[in-house]
Amino acid sequence: MLSAEGISFAYHKHLVLDDISLSLKAGEFLGLLGPNGSGKSTFLKNLLGFLTPSRGRVVFYGGDPGVEGHVPGRAERSRRLAFVPQNSRPATSLMVRELMLMGRLPHMTDRWAGYGKADREKVEEVLEALGIANMAERNVMSLSGGEAQKVIIGRCLVQEGDILLLDEATSGLDLNHSIEIMELMRRKAAGEAKTIVAVLHDLNLAAQYCDRVVLLKNGRPRYQGNPSEILTGEVVEDIFGIRAVVKKDENGKPFVLPRRDHAAEERRGEDDGVY
């Protein structure tokens, strides 16, 4: 569906992405993991065209195997890529239904005619799927953080892109709603061949739902592959600098149990003159 070919990007002289090459397949749920500042959000913004790579390019492919790829224009990106940004609580007095309708803008053929029947039906479908139909006439500013996050996810789904980019989309949600969203995305990937790329900090959610994980460090992919193979205690320590015990559940999927390294803390305390 999409390939990043040798993407590098720098803010002024600070290199954030360093020669990333990564291909995304139709129906794949990919988790993008790594410590803060490792380049995860910047990578998504390069895919979206919000930022322009200093080197490399983003290439799109059609639905037919063997079709040659091409560099997409702005209009194609807006139709094919749907995005849930970080810290996305909207500062607007729109009603929930009105805000979600904005996800249909890339599909409008006549801006003067406004939204059509199909646009409104899609919004109602997504409201029901997310369990927020009872909020449709509420002012967005009256919503809690978790409720507002589900509305932004709804706007993304209403857009009907074939590639969904989620930047910490579950960060404002409790565990129940986080699992609900991850299961919905899993169904979108498996049932509708949507390509999902999710920036996540919860390693256990990634292990349960993602087909593949990519762990970034210092702007480069350090590890990538099936979570069952990639997520080990050694990898967690290398990427995040913490000790962890990694076990497998009854389905063979890993779950990560962080452990504090008291010996390392004592050594740091001695270095700092703290006892």
- For residue 64, give both structure tokens: 């037919």
pLDDT bracket for residue 177 (50, 70, 90) = confident
% of the chain exceeding 90 in pLDDT: 65
Any idea which residue has 């790329």 for tokens?
A: 197
Q: Which architecture does CATH list for 2-231?
A: 3-Layer(aba) Sandwich (3.40)
The confidence score (pLDDT) of residue 261 equals 63
The confidence score (pLDDT) of residue 16 equals 95
Kindly tell me if the per-residue pLDDT of 270 is higher than 50.
no
- For residue 93, give both structure tokens: 């007095």
User: Chain-wide mean pLDDT for the chain?
Assistant: 87
Mean pLDDT of 182-192: 92
The confidence score (pLDDT) of residue 273 equals 40
What do you get for the CA distance between the two ends of the chain, in Å? 56
Angle between helices 117-129 and 145-158 (to 10 degrees): 140
Q: Tens of pLDDT along 210-239?
A: 999 999 999 999 999 999 999 999 999 999
> Per-residue b/e over 150-175, b at no fewer than 16 CB within 10 Å?
bbbbbbbbbbbbbbbbbbbbbbbbee
Domain boundaries, the chain: 2-231, 232-275
What phi and psi values does residue 189 have, to the nearest 5 degrees?
-70, -50
Cβ atoms 189, 27 nearer than 8 A: yes
Q: What is the spatial distance between Cα 245 and Cα 97, in angstroms, rounded to a whole number? A: 45
Kindly tell me if the per-residue pLDDT of 268 is higher than 60.
no
Angle between helices 175-192 and 145-158 (to 10 degrees): 10
Kindly tell me if the per-residue pLDDT of 54 is higher than 70.
yes
Q: Comparing 94 with 71, which gets the higher pLDDT?
A: 94
Query: What DSSP designation does 69 have?
Result: P
The confidence score (pLDDT) of residue 62 equals 67
Q: Tens of pLDDT along 85-139?
A: 887 677 778 999 999 999 998 888 777 778 889 999 999 999 999 999 999 999 9
pLDDT bracket for residue 158 (50, 70, 90) = very high
The confidence score (pLDDT) of residue 218 equals 93
The confidence score (pLDDT) of residue 76 equals 85
pLDDT bracket for residue 271 (50, 70, 90) = very low
